[in-house]
Structure 1
Amino acid sequence: MPYVNIKITREGATPEQKARLIKGVSDLLYDVLGKDPALTFVVIDEVALEDWGVGGLPVEEHRRRRAGG
């Protein structure tokens, strides 16, 4: 029983996009490892931007620096 946890920032992933992620991950586990999609669990956690950090910075500040602002 594979369990996959996907964490994304809470920036408006649509239900359709989430469904594609769930199907894509399930299909990949089947293709690569032969795992039954009916026994594969995929959980998507959406995290607020203020709770996500990259390179020692809050993600919003990290993005501003990368964009040159």
Structure 2
Amino acid sequence: MASVMHKKAELTAVLVETHDTTRWSIGGQLVSCAAHLDVKVTAGTNSADEKAEFVRQAHDLLRSAFGASLPLATYVVVNEVTADAWGYGGLTQEARRTAAA
């Protein structure tokens, strides 16, 4: 997030959830190993190239962590949220942008 998407590391929050793989299937087949990465960024703050590079590097990181058994259908999702629809510390991203201007 910091190196590719230029996000502040000190404001990057991470939640890791584990699930029993007997509840995870791909193509109707149970898998022994699975992962899914879902990130949120403010809409318009990253180029298509940056998002593509993030997806590539995130997949590579997951592959290095989980090994060759990680299924091809391991999704990395970049959700773009409008600046007025999210924030932290009681302020929306839009309010922060306006205050900085």
Match of 2:61 in 1: 28
Higher helix share: 1
The TM-score with structure 2 as length reference comes to: 0.55
Cα distance in 2, alignment partners of residues 15 and 60 from structure 1: 21
Larger RCO of the pair (alpha carbons < 8 Å, separation 6+): 1
Please provide the CA RMSD for this pair: 2.0
Higher strand share: 1
Tell me if structure 2 keeps the 8 A contact 1:3–1:40: yes
Cα distance in 2, alignment partners of residues 18 and 37 from structure 1: 21
What are the ranges of 5 or more consecutive residues in structure 1 without an aligned counterpart?
A: none
Match of 2:36 in 1: 3
Runs (4+) of structure 1 exceeding 4 A deviation are: none
The alignment of Structure 1 onto Structure 2 pairs a total of residues equal to: 66
What are the ranges of 5 or more consecutive residues in structure 2 without an aligned counterpart?
A: 1-33
Deviates more, 1:31-40 or 1:11-20: 31-40
